[in-house]
Amino acid sequence: MTDEVGEILIPSDRIAVRVRELGRTLADTYAGREPVVVAIMKGCVMFLADLVRAWGGTMDLEFVSARSYEGTRPGRVRVALPEDLGEKVAGRPVLVLDDIFDTGGTLAAVCCEIERLRPAELKTLVLLKKRRSRDGGSPGRSPDWVGFEIEDRFVVGYGLDHEGRFRNLPFVAALREDA
Ligand code: IMP
Ligand code: MG
């Protein structure tokens, strides 16, 4: 395992500090409201668990799945929603949560599906955003909130995987190029 995982880019203590900041921002933003948090599985599972506890407000949690990556390369996005998501989301503020924004294709595809369900408001938050996605090629809007901007490398840990592995690392690390 360790020879595939390279440099630690974001240690767990920095993640914890940033997650607490984001929790405070969300507590302010959604004060007095009860949003539906729609988490894109599985990558944001660690982030979700830490964030909603730091946030501490009243909310519903819903899960959707989106798959795009084949190995370390993006492909066509497939989104799966629970059947009753429409009832939960209609007329409510919705916050879509993902682990990482790379091309933006995943977030755009999920937001497009959610918009059809007529939420009162739709906002997006990602833990990581790759720097290259800012300078073009992104099919959708940028996230409303970003935990960390990172360089354009394939990363693992804190929920992010490579072919299903390394999600349980407590930090974000680069996958070694030769892995
Ligand atoms: P996008 O659709 O290109 O923005 O990619 C977003 C999705 O691809 C995320 O939800 C991740 O599941 C996956 N992904 C993108 N970059 C990485 C990475 O560096 N490590 C692990 N997963 C990634
Ligand atoms: Mg993902």
Structural domain that includes position 85: 30-153
| Res 141: pLDDT | 79
Domain assignment present for residue 104? The answer is yes
Calculate how far, in angstroms, residue 163's C-alpha sits from the geometric centre of ligand 2: 11
For the chain, how far is it from start to end, CA to CA, in angstroms? 10
Domain assignment present for residue 127? The answer is yes
User: What are the tens digits of pLDDT across the range 60-106?
Assistant: 999 999 987 666 776 778 899 999 999 999 999 999 999 999 999 99
Alpha-carbon gap, residue 109 to 138, rounded angstroms: 12
Average model confidence (pLDDT) for the chain? 92
Bridge partners for 121 per DSSP = 93
Domain assignment present for residue 93? The answer is yes
CATH number at residue 84: 3.40.50.2020
Domain assignment present for residue 13? The answer is no
Q: What's the structural domain count of the chain?
A: 1
Torsion of CA 119, 126, 42, 23, to 10 degrees: -80
Domain assignment present for residue 166? The answer is no
Which residues are the active-site residues? Answer: 102
> How large is the average pLDDT for residues 153-179?
94
User: Which residues surround ligand 1 with Cβ inside 6 Å?
Assistant: 40, 43, 68-69, 74, 98-106, 154-156, 160
Domain assignment present for residue 89? The answer is yes
Domain assignment present for residue 38? The answer is yes
How many Å separate Cα 46 from the centre of its chain?
Answer: 10
